[in-house]
Amino acid sequence: MIYLTLILCFICSVLLTPLVKRLAFKIGATDKPNNRKVHEKVMPRLGGLAIYLSFMLGVLIFSPNKEVHIPIMVGAFIIVVIGVLDDKYQLPAKYKLLGQIAAALIVVFWGNVEVEFINNPFFGDNRIDFGYFAIPITILWIVGVTNAINLIDGLDGLAAGVSSIALFTIAGMAVFMGNTYVIAMASLLMVATLGFLVFNFHPAKIFMGDTGALFLGYMIAVLSLLGFKNVTVISFIIPILILGVPLSDTIFAIFRRILNKQPISAPDKSHLHHCLLNAGFTHRQTVLLIYAMAATFGMIAIIFSQAKVWGAILLIAVVLVMLELFAELIGLLGKDYQPLLKRLKGKGN
């Protein structure tokens, strides 16, 4: 039954996307080119609505019986409404943030989803309780991942492809843990996103807009919490690895703006995809290269989950060093910020 539902979900997304494209033009939910964007003509936004509706069809057929399901869907509806309004009217950032916090609060208080503690792998069965910080940490995770997906939505097919890879990895990890709810929900959302990607890959015919980017970010954040909450310090890093591309791009963007003494929310053209384009890669090559990075992070997450404690620590150390080197090479923190590269060059001389 689940396989048939996945097929129907994909087909529905393929059929709905052209209709949503017409709707976007009709209501004026379009994206006009400017100096920060790479497209050169007016493009319809709102494509995320096709992802959401197709996903909801799959959810209705699958009919998951889990207490947390209704709160998650209510939060998703709020996110989608905020996204649709932003695609049409370009809402101020503070209103979008309020909507994201509201959706996160619903999941936390109604759905009772929160990271209450993590087990300490170094000292037997001792555990670290977050106490009063459990709720803020959970809300910060949901809002942070929601916006991380939105930040990488800068090239044709980029956010949809990276999200699909993340969802595939989450579903795969959920198989190991026997979490059928996360397996089903991640799989349904993945195929709905892939159906949209048919029209969104370069050259794109439609953008997912904030409707899609915020919805995908929200769902990925919540599903990763359901799959990995209340675990060891080491395995708590797994969802961070799965979302390595969008989260690292977001973190580097924050540090870059701090270094340049700019507001954290200030837009710029120094995100990962911008840097790769500036390095000489074509639009399609840049997207495929970032897909490969996302897939690599996914594989590292799976290897990481099977590693022993000290092996996992060593793996993380290697990943962090390689990430820093890569960021310095392509200028994610600015062309002049290369402390590690300069140190290595100094030793080489």
Bigger pLDDT: 94 vs 259: 94
Token pair of 348 as six digits: 């080489």
Q: Strand, helix or coil at 47? A: coil
Structural domain tally of the chain?
A: 1
Tell me the pLDDT tens digit for each residue of 150-201: 888 888 999 999 999 999 999 988 888 888 999 999 999 999 999 999 999 9
Which structural domain range is residue 167 located in? Answer: 2-348
Task: Write down the pLDDT at residue 33.
Answer: 73
Q: Strand, helix or coil at 131? A: helix
Task: Write down the pLDDT at residue 233.
Answer: 53
Look at residues 271, 314, 276, 319 and name the one whose alpha carbon lies nearest to residue 299: 319
Tell me the pLDDT tens digit for each residue of 103-118: 999 999 999 888 776 6
The answer on pLDDT for 236 being more than 70 is no
Mean pLDDT value across the chain: 86
Of 26-40, 78-92, 216-230, 305-319, highest mean pLDDT: 78-92
Q: Which helix (H) or strand (E) holds 174?
A: helix 158-177
The answer on pLDDT for 250 being more than 80 is yes
Average pLDDT, stretch 323-344?
A: 81
Task: Write down the pLDDT at residue 176.
Answer: 83
Of 144-148, 190-194, 235-239, 244-248, highest mean pLDDT: 190-194
Amino acid letter, residue 199: F
Give the CB-side neighbour count of residue 233, counting CA atoms within 13 A.
16
Average pLDDT, stretch 248-270?
A: 78
User: Which parts are annotated binding residues for Mg(2+)?
Assistant: 150, 210
Look at residues 73, 72, 92, 69 and name the one whose alpha carbon lies nearest to residue 82: 92
User: Which positions ≥6 away from 288 have C-beta within 8 Å?
Assistant: none
Q: Strand, helix or coil at 10? A: helix
Tell me the pLDDT tens digit for each residue of 276-332: 888 888 989 999 999 999 999 888 888 877 777 778 788 888 988 988 888 888 887
Average pLDDT, stretch 328-346?
A: 78
User: Which parts are annotated binding residues?
Assistant: 150, 210
d(CA 237, CA 256) in angstroms, rounded, equals 23
Helix, strand, coil content of the chain in percent (nearest 5): 70, 5, 25
d(CA 312, CA 89) in angstroms, rounded, equals 46
Q: Which helix (H) or strand (E) holds 308?
A: none
Average pLDDT, stretch 203-207?
A: 93
210 neighbors 86 (Cβ within 8 angstroms) = yes
